Every structure is written in C-alpha cells, then in structure tokens.
Amino acid sequence: MKINIVSALGAIVFSSFVSAQLSGGVGPSTTTASKAAKKVCNILNYGGVASKTTDNAPAIASAWAACKSGGEVYIPAGDYGLATWVTLTGGTAVSINLDGIIYRTGTAGGNMIFIEHTTDFEFYSSTSKGAVQGYGYVFHAAGTYGPRILRLYEVVNFSVHDIALVDAGAFHFTMDTCSNGEVYNMIIRGGNEGELDGIDVWGTNIWIHDIEVTNKDECVTVKSPASYILVESIYSNWSGGCAIGSLGADTDIHHIQYNHVYTQESNQMLLIKSNGGSGSVYSCSFNNFIGHSNAYTLDIDGYWSSETTAAGNGVLFYDITFDNWHGTCSNGATRAPLQLLCPSGAPCYGITIENFDIWTEAGSEVLYKCENAYGSGPCLSTGTSHTAYAITTHTVTSVASYTITKMAADFTAGFGLTTSIPIPAIPTSFYPGLAPSSALLG
C-alpha cells in the first residue's frame, strides 16, 4: 500500500509506503505550497527574458540565491535560452517550478543544470509542460557529444517530477550520491546511439517510478554504491533497456527492486554487467517484466566485453530473484533470452528464477545459457559447492504463456542524430493496465 501526502500544488511530500526495498520516507519535507508562500523568485524579476536567444543562466542563479534559504524559483511559461550552465549550490526548503521550456544555446560540456549540497528540494512543473531541450543532435551529427542536461549531487529529501528532458548532448539525468528522493511522471527522449543514458542513479533510499525513456542506451540504471532503490512502472520505449552497472572494484549494491517494467525494441529488458572487479550485488528482485522485440532479455554478464577488465576476481551476485517475465525476444536462438554468465572467480548463488515465459519472434526455439551460476530455475546448477563450471546451454522449443498487452505508444523506430527531437507531452500510462502512482499536476 502506498500513501501519499499531497500538497495544494500536487507535490508528493515524504511519501510513506510499505516496501522491502526502501528504508524510509522519500521526497521533500515541506510542500511546494509552503515554499511558495514564503517567497517566490520569478526569474523575470532577476534579469530573465522569455527568449531563446537570451542567456537566462545568470537570472536563474540570481533567483536561486534569493530563494535558496526558503522559497520557490519560478520560471513561467515561455521559451528561455541557456548559453552558460547553471550550478546551484546549497539551499534548504527550496523548489524550482519550471513551467517554461529551457533551450540549450551554449556549446560547453559539463552539466546544463547542476544542483548540489541541497536539502528539502523539489524540481517540477506545476503544469506538467516544463521541459529542457538539449539539442544534442547538433553534436551527434558531428560525431561528438555535448553537455548532460540535469545532475544532482548530494541532494537529500528531494523530488523531480512532471518535466520532460529531451535530446541531451550526453546523459539526460544523473543522481550522484543522493538520498531520500522521488523521481516520477517524466519523459526522456534522446538520440539513437550510446552514451545518452536516461536516468543513472547511485545513493540510497530513492523511488523512481512512472518514467518513459526513448534513447539507445540505458533506460533506468543503478550504479555503485547504491542501496534501497525502488524502480517501478518504467516504459522502455525503443531504448537500451534497464541495467545495473557497469560494475568494477569494490562494488556495493544491495536491496534494489525493479517492478513492472515494460520494454520494447530495446537492447535488453535487464542487463547486470561487470568485467572483473570485486564486491557484491545482493538482496535484489526484478519482478513483472514484460516486453517484445528486444535483442536480449535477462542477461547477467560477468564478462562484459564493452568494459575494461577491472582488478579483482569478479563481482559476486547472490540472493537475487527474478519473477514473472513474459513476452518475446527478437531471435532466441541467436541471442539467448536467459543468459547468466557469472565470473569464474566469484560464482553467483542464491539466484531464483520463476515464471519466466519468453518466446522468440524469429525461429522455433530459444536458448538458456548459464555459467558459474547456482540457484533455482532454468539452467541454474543446484549444487552447493559453488565452484566454477563451463557454459551450459538448454534449448527450449515451446513456451506456454508468453502473450502480453502492448502499449499503444510503442515506437517502431528511434530518433535520429541529425535533426531535432520534438518535445513530447508526459504520458499518463507507463505499464499496461497500471495507473501512475501520482496524477500529473497539469
């Protein structure tokens, strides 16, 4: 059961809910209404101009300085250029209400919007029409990468919601060493190539839900160190798919739960990836995954070739559950939909796979591959010694109940790298048959 305490403006404040994967309340400790009642700092009163050709970074920084001890930075409806980047440091009981659209005009690297060392913070759009347009295609068409859009560093008791992030020059949204946060009701659209991650997160006690991502790299990814992260109702709509990693030395990831993830035309439904390294991933669950037309499906790869080998015998994976996976892969004989390749120096154990019903759209069989993997489920070894063993392959010629309900908004192609990506409306559905946990503010 999830119980939300909602402010007059619809912002969720310290949502409390029963979940084994969160360690406490998440979200701001004061409402947007109370922040705005204390003080509103409209950037138009600090030198801002509703113009794509004006650099509004100084105005945003000035408004933040005036309101960061308590209040709301307000960016009203309209178009706003950003030629230099914004670093907003400190602040308590402060929010940013982005009802306008910010357009990148500068060419530097780094982060367009960087928020750090902040407590009781909210970044949202009261109309659900706020957006940041990164115009990443300008860089990608030239074979380079540009700035990331949004980065939070050491932000505590926060929420980000009702905003669209579009066409980043590199990553779209990163949460670095953050805690007690909630991210929801967002749409992210990027170009059709790598290094354009949707959401990357590391930290503790963070709830990410009701998100749609289109790109060709990671959708919602947990990185080390991370604990008590709950990821729910994710729509991976022509994407790289969700992931854990890449993982290297001293990995520390535990109590992670992904639940209700819909994936179509993506590289994978879930990839847990490492190459060498040390540390562990444990006490995690991945439930209610459905999808179709994906290259890979469930993939633990302890020999991830795209990652430089890290020092160590390998990351140890244990006490991990996968339950209720349905749908199709593109070609199950070419790319096994179930692939658990654990490091020989750290065989995984306590792996449980139940109700795994994935069929193929090409051919008449699917493969299951396991290496150094112990537990209960298809192709896993039931031994107790947890010693290394070579890859075992199982061929499956029929799957009983793999049918799923598809989403009406499924893309049949990704976005290119040479033209601008349109700013979309935030959807009201992120997983078949499930309503979002919180209604759009707009």
Q: Catalytic amino acids?
A: 217, 292
Pick from 433, 432, 318: which is nearest to 376 by CA? 318
**Per-residue DSSP letter, 426:** P
Q: Which residues of 8-20 are buried (b: 16+ CB within 10 A; e: fewer)?
A: ebbbbbbbeeebe
How many other β-carbons are positioned within 10 Å of the β-carbon of residue 390?
A: 7
Residue ranges of E strands in 1-62: 2-3, 16-17, 40-42
At residue 137, the 3 state secondary structure works out as: helix
Q: How large is the C-alpha radius of gyration of the chain?
A: 22
- CA angle, residues 99, 205, 237, in degrees to nearest 5: 55
343 in Cβ contact with 315 (< 8 Å): yes
Pick from 97, 84, 83: which is nearest to 11 by CA? 97
Separation CA 127–CA 335 (nearest Å): 43
The residue with tokens 């794509």 is 52
Pick from 410, 284, 296, 305: which is nearest to 348 by CA? 284
Sign of the C-alpha dihedral computed for residues 240, 154, 43 and 73 taken in this order: positive
Pick from 83, 93, 95: which is nearest to 48 by CA? 83
Per-residue three-class SS string for 352-368 = EEEEEEEEECCCCCEEE
φ, ψ of residue 326 in degrees (nearest 5)? -140, 155
The residue with tokens 């010629």 is 397
Side-chain-facing half-sphere of 395: CA atoms under 13 Å: 6
At residue 42, the 3 state secondary structure works out as: strand
φ, ψ of residue 190 in degrees (nearest 5)? -130, 175
How many other β-carbons are positioned within 10 Å of the β-carbon of residue 397?
A: 7
